Structure 1
């Protein structure tokens, strides 16, 4: 069966080399140096040969461009990333039918220009953002033109990836997150918080055609359907210094209905229960197959095996399974079926 991996990560070699030279914190890229499939295209192609019918939508891997380079240098780095992903797509369209544009989010005018170039000239099928921009939330008014352009000017989806490091402590008495809690539980929280900010900042009311693909099956939202449902129907009752009750009354729909507007992927490290939970919450037409390749214990192939196994064991109707594996991505990205 055809499988389109809608959230596969890559660091093209030219970009990877440039990133390594300018990264201030060499420790931040430690793990990337040990995963050849991430930056060695030949290694990636060899791995993919073992999975007939498997294709990848390329997205640039962590760390965010704006974390690596200042606003003067980030536009050049984004251009390099997008140019290199274009070359890979053009050289191997059977393996990589599309890529997602990366933007220099710490330079909004340059990000808007690069979005235009990447989509109209290079053929990018969407843009990728992270859940915060060096600590600034995505509903900061400065970033609004980027979502407006993606939705209304280009009509492309926005891929949203969590960004949170060990420097975000779990307790106010500490200076860092211990035991990699910042990743295991911090990333789902980070994604859920960004989704909530979009909901209550009225992104979907102001941009009714906005399509946001959230990584890791919508993070915490499906599991906490009661809290975002009946819980947030009481929005504002716990707050005295801001008129959240007035905000709730002004919203045309319940908060939970806005959360259901997000698209999600199956990149849950092979966990079947999480995928089932996500499918119980989100419309199956909004669920995309993804593996998080190559971030698994084997450096690439493990999640290509275990995530399809988890999906197949759910015994979904064939049309639902086909949609998850490839149909939903084809429709969302406006790609040909063959």
Structure 2
């Protein structure tokens, strides 16, 4: 049994709502129109027939609702997404045994209300947010009630990278060129978010949080030396802040937070090297099988096929494969998925 913990689908209701708001044909929203398996349920089901021992947890993708509408509208839009995903799960539980509720931290009380409703009333596996909220980091004090609520709900929070072309790579420019904002930017964005949750002590204040990080945590596995021995010396490079005292006040070594406090997924775009690095960095009890379907060049089956092939080719013990393929996601969501 293989349960894909991070795949994307956009329900028809939210596409219609975005069109009414004039956001459905812009930027990343326009790109989605060229991937039928992300919005056409029949196309998605036909594609999944290729994988009989495989099922998907579905989550909304992009753009974030806070990019589409103001804070007064995001709760309503998230409700449309969640009702649509829940209906798909109820109709096709053998293919989609669970979904991730979408919330928007542009409206913190609304995010708590909608996340609670989706988990308690609709059976959501957890909630999804983004690595920033309109450019604001998610460790700010204004978001503390959300972390408190998620810890009490005892469900994971899927954290998706968010960065656009208008986030330039150099101060002298107005935009990121060559899709650097995505290729390197999303991987950096994820790692930066993880660091903010560590050093702002969100994870110390909420030890029960279960943050799921996409793409094996971006650049994190490749930088274990900088995160480890490098950040063991935090403060030596800074004169305007007492980071040495901050480090001393943390409950764990910085490296240990990155390794132990996050749940990374295996969606690394058919990269054997990336998978090996992630598997070497994180404990097997934290790693979740995921593919980022349907964003492969084939627009559906490619990353599913490649990710399974890579994991099955590395000589991992069956016990480890069972944890990655279904055991870990069942444990952290508190759900039993049956194929």
- TM-score, normalising length from structure 1? 0.97
Shift of 1:104: 2.5
Quote how far apart the aligned CAs of 1:23 are.
3.8
1:241 is the counterpart of 2:203: no
CA distance in 2, matches of 1:25, 1:16: 6
For structure 2, list consecutive stretches of 5 or more residues without a partner in the other structure. Answer: none
The Cα shift of 1:135 comes to 0.4
Shift of 1:24: 4.1
Stretches (4+) displaced over 2 A:
23-27
**Shift of residue 123, structure 1, vs aligned partner:** 1.0
Deviation at 1:337, TM superposition (A): 5.0
Tell me the secondary structure at the aligned position of residue 106 of structure 1.
Answer: coil
Match of 1:37 in 2: 37
Structure 2 residue aligned with 1:81: 81
Aligned twin of 2:202: 203
* Coordinate RMSD, CA, aligned: 1.1
Are the equivalent residues in 2 in contact too, given 1:23–1:69 (CA < 8 A)?
A: no
What are the Cα deviations for residues 129-182 of structure 1, in whole angstroms up to 9, with x where unaligned? 10000101000111111111111x200001011000100111111110001000
Change (3 A) 1:282 1:23: farther
Change (3 A) 1:134 1:25: farther
Instruction: Work out the CA distance in 1 between the residues paired with 2:87 and 2:321.
Output: 31
| Structure 1 partner of 2:2 | 3
Go from structure 1 to structure 2 and tell me whether the alpha carbon gap of 1:101 and 1:25 turns closer, same or farther (over 3 Å shift). Answer: closer
Matched, 1:259 2:274: no
Write the deviation string for residues 282-315 of structure 1: whole angstroms up to 9, x where unpaired.
0011111101011111111111111111111111
Tell me how far 1:38 sits from its aligned partner.
0.5
**Counterpart residue number, 1:62:** 62
**Is the counterpart of residue 90 in structure 1 residue 90 in structure 2?**
yes
SS in 1 for 2:204: helix
Whole-angstrom CA distance in 2 between matches of 1:23 and 1:47: 30
Whether 2:6 is the aligned partner of 1:13: answer no
Superposition TM-score, scaled by structure 2 size: 0.97
For the residues of structure 1 that align with 2:22 and 2:32, how far apart are their CA atoms? 12
Partner of 1:187: 186
Q: Shift in Å at residue 20 of structure 1?
A: 2.5
Indicate if the aligned counterparts of 2:97 and 2:337 stay in contact, CA closer than 8 A: no
1:305 and 2:286 correspond? no
1:16 and 1:159 mapped to 2: Cα distance?
21
Q: How many residues align?
A: 336
* Unaligned residue ranges in structure 1 (runs of 5+): none
1:127 is matched with which residue? Answer: 127
Instruction: Kindly indicate whether the alpha-carbon contact (under 8 Å) linking 2:15 and 2:24 is maintained by their aligned counterparts in 1.
Output: no
Q: Is the 8 A contact 1:266 1:290 kept in 2?
A: yes
Instruction: Report 1:280-319 matches (<5 A).
Output: 280-319=280-319
Provide the secondary structure at the position in 2 that maps to 1:57. Answer: strand
**Helix, strand or coil for the counterpart of 1:319?**
helix
Match of 1:219 in 2: 218
